Each structure stands twice: as structure tokens, then as C-alpha cells.
Amino acid sequence: MNLDVILFALFAIGAVASAVFTITRRNPVAAAMSLIGHFFMLAGLYLTLHAQFVAVVQVLVYAGAIMVLVVFVIMLLNLGNEQQLTERISMRTTIGTLVAALFAMQVVTGLLARPTGVNTQHADAAMIGATAGIGNALFTTYIFPFEAVSILLLAALIGAVILAKRHLHEGI
Amino acid sequence: MNLSILITPVIQAAILVNVMLIGAAYMVLAERKVAAWIQNRIGPNRVGPWGLFQSFADVFKLYLKEDIVPAAADKTFHSMAPVISIAVAITAYAIIPWMDNVNIGGTTYTLSMAPNMDVALLVMLAMTSVGVYGIALAGWSSNNKYSLMGGLRSTAQMISYELSMGLSAVGVLMICGSLNLVDIIRYQTEHGWNVFYQPLAFVIFLVTALAETNRAPFDLPEAEPELVGGYHTEYASMKFGLLYLAEYANILASSAIMAVLFLGGWDLIPFVDEIALMGLAPDSLPAVLIGHAALAGKAALLVFVFIWIRWSLPRFRYDQLMNLGWKVLLPLSLANITITGIVLLLMK
């Protein structure tokens, strides 16, 4: 058994376990922390695929920025009384169960149809996953989608500022 | 499986972590000594010559104290918070290139854990931003309004300042063309230190590093007149010690990163290839030790600057802190990137 397999097993089990914790914890902070743990496990999985840049950006953006905001809001609102957040709407549970069942079917189909033990990793995987490789691809081949996404983000940013400022003007 | 690939990093890590933690413990002593010097006092001088063993006395005292956890606290997270803090602080040490590769009798040795990592600087930024969880959880789990306020303030402060910190480092990346810290050092050895080309970025990075490590004048998360002790109000014994140690470990890591990014890292004298002038091979033991001493000296100097600033400047008000972060430092760091880009394009 080589190191790759052991690391993959560790990170995969960790990822699944933390994902399960995320949706089973009643305490919102515990759920958020499990999600952060899950992001770290995903970053580890990316590392086993030689995708250093994606792995670090995963931690930097998701665990380091987005989840900080989530935890901040949970703490600011001090979401207590988590016991009251019981399943009042049975409709939600029904639809959720159906979607979960569909997803489970897809996973099982995927598992049955998997390629048998062939290492399909690209020969230059380490080069492609490096910062230079991703940067070159983003600014040459994928320049249009990249710029489109950045304009989308800019629009969202301006929208957020305007939404936040509207109340100020009404107040005055 | 070859066991040596597991054992060597473990030994390296054990040496590095212990040296760094003792270094952090001595920074506490340095802080007290410098504070005393600035305030015209003597400072700790009872334990050992010049009070040199004061740090060990402090740590023993912390170990012997009773560990009190408030009855209403969230026990799990209350214990987890100091562990997260110190673990994140120590992880950052893995990417700092403390020493060049040294060639002794044909075998190459190094003290750095991940010296040639392609994304080292991003790891550093990621660890800085993840470090906030330790403080935020410590504040929240204590179930104390002062602790919670400290944790919230710290979270808001770190979100606001890590943006400028990352953007100020972009200028350096544009000049050096690499995220690899060893490449950045080699570039500076050849072309002179980045602080001469990126003075604004250096100042922004220094200010944001002060804010990210919750140091004065940005120490609002633990402002004692308002918040008792801030996020560590409800901590006692070695759990408090770990939070305290993590703070100093972060300062040391920030100082080392600043020395690497802006002050030339292993380079002793800017614009002069002193290693070649002395007739030493770059991978010989004396040359590498000089480089290591240069980096450690610069980091120590920056640590002194951190302490100096703490005992010289008054604390910011909260609105001043937010204004400085969003209205001054962020536009300045964006302007720095634009100007660097234009200059690089013109020089091409």
C-alpha cells in the first residue's frame, strides 16, 4: 500500500465524516466548524492530485474568508434555541428525502460504472496544478470566461453596496 | 514503504517547533524588558542572570495553576480554541525558508520543512486567515459578553485587514514573478531588496501584520479598559498560556515573512554579493549559516519594532480602525499594484 492510497483514505474518510457532522449537528457553530473541517479535507484531497494552487485557494477562500463571515454572523446573531429549529414543515423533509434518494442512486450508478483501477492522472499533473500553469490557462485559453466571471462579481459587489446604502438614504 | 520519508520530517518539525516555541517564550521576556526600558523601569531581573529564566518560571506557573472552565461555557469549543490557535500558528512555520540547502560532504541538508513549495506565500495568507477561528471560538464558547465582543472585534478586524495584506504582497509577486519564497529570496539577492522597490507595500504589510496579530495599536480584541481581557477573559492555566503563546508565535511568523518578502531574507548586505566576495560557495556551511543569521536577525529586529510600536502608540478607536483598513490601506494597496504594473510594463 503506498502513501497516496493511505492519504486518500484518510482525507476521504475525514471529508465524509465532517460532511455528515455538518448536517447532523444542532448547534450552528459546531455545524460551521465541521464544514470548515470538510474544506480542509477537500484541500488535502486536491493535494493528493498535485493541485497545490487549488488546495491552498480552497483553504484561503472557503475556510479563511467565506466561513469566517458565516461564523461571524452566527456569533453576531447568537443563534441560540437551536432545539426549537425542529422540522416543522414536513414538506421540506419529503422533498429533501427525494432529492437525497436521487443523489444516492446517482452515486451508486457512478460507483458501479467506475473504471477499474487505472491511474488516469495526467503525466504533467504537477505542472498543470502549479500556479504558473493555472495562471497561463486563465489568461490565455479561458480569458473570456474569466473576465465574464469578474464582471459578474463586480456587478454583485455594486448591487450589495447599493442594497446596503438604500436604507441610509431613506433614513435621512 | 520507505520509513525515512516519514521520520525525517517528524524530526525536522520537532526541532523547528521547539526552537520556535522557546523563541516565542523569550519574546514575552523581550516584551517585558523593552517595555520596562521604554518606561524607564528595570523589568524582570530576579529569575536567573538579567531575568533570563523568567519565561520558564512563567510557563511553570501557568502549568501549576488550576484550569477553570466556566459552568455555562461550551466545553468542547472552549478547549478546542487554544489548540486551533497554536496549531495554525505553528503550521505557518513549515513554509518559512529558515535556511538554504547546505551541502556537507556531498549530502544536502535543510532546516525548512517545505522550502520549495510553489504556493508558499498563499499558505501563509491562508494560515493567517484561518487563525481567526481560534480567537472567535474562544470568545464565543466562553459565554461571556466581554469575550464575545473581543472575538467579534477580532473577526471583523482580521477580515478587513487580510485583504490589504494579500494585495500589498501582490506588488512583490509582480516584481519577483513567483509565489515561491526561496525564489523571492534569490531574486532579492541578485537585484536588491524589495523594500527599496516596494516601500509602500512594506508599510502596508507592516500595518496589516500588526492588525492581523492583534497587536497595539490594533489590540481592540483585548482592550483591557473596555473588555476586561477580551477573548481570553475566561481562560486560565495553560489554555491561557497557549492563546498567549499563539499570539507571539504569530508575531514571529509575520516578522520572518516580512524579512523574506521585503528585507532580502538570507541576504546580509543589499546590492552586494557578500558570499561571493568572501569566496564561499553558496551551499557551503558558513555561507548558509550567515544567511540564516541574517534572516533571524532581521526577524528579531522586526519583532523589536512590533514591541516598540506597542509601547509607543495609543490604541485606535473602532471606527478609526475600520476607516484606516477600508478607506486608506485598501485603496493604497490597489494603487500600488496599478503603479507597479505600469512601471513593469514601461521597463519591459
pLDDT: is B260 or B6 the higher one?
B260
**How is residue B103 annotated by DSSP?**
E
Considering only the top CATH level, what class is A1-86?
A: mainly alpha
Nearest to B129 among A52, A60, A76 (CB): A60
Helix axes B181-191, B237-261, angle to 10 degrees: 40
Model pLDDT, residue A172: 47
In percent, the amount of chain B with pLDDT more than 90 equals: 5
Rounded to an integer, the average pLDDT of B315-322 is 84
Q: Structural domain boundaries of chain B?
A: 3-27+77-347
Confidence of residue A85 (pLDDT cuts 50, 70, 90): low
Restricting to A residues 66-95, those with a Cβ less than 8 Å away from any Cβ of B are 68-69, 71-72, 75-76, 78
B119 pLDDT higher than 70: yes
Model pLDDT, residue A116: 59
Strand partners, B104: B107
Nearest to B140 among A3, A64, A75 (CB): A75
B230 pLDDT higher than 80: no
Model pLDDT, residue A17: 92
Task: Give CA–CA dist B215/B125, Å, rounded.
Answer: 18
Task: Give CA–CA dist B289/B156, Å, rounded.
Answer: 41
pLDDT in tens, A102-134: 999 888 888 777 665 555 666 666 677 777 888
Q: How far is A115 from chain B (nearest CA, A)?
A: 26
Rounded to an integer, the average pLDDT of B24-39 is 87
B1 pLDDT higher than 60: no
Question: Sign of torsion, CA A10 A15 A16 A17?
Answer: positive
Model pLDDT, residue A27: 79
Other beta carbons within 10 angstroms of residue B99's beta carbon come to 19
Model pLDDT, residue A53: 85
Model pLDDT, residue A147: 92
Rounded to an integer, the average pLDDT of B3-24 is 81
B108 pLDDT higher than 80: no
Contact residues, chain A, for B152 at CB < 8 Å? 72, 75-76
Rounded to an integer, the average pLDDT of B247-270 is 85
Residue B148 half-sphere exposure toward CB, CA atoms < 13 A: 15
Q: How far is A163 from chain B (nearest CA, A)?
A: 19
Model pLDDT, residue B218: 79
Nearest-CA neighbor of B256 among B63, B23, B66? Answer: B23
Q: What ipTM is given for this predicted complex? A: 0.81
Average pLDDT, chain B: 83
Average pLDDT, chain A: 81
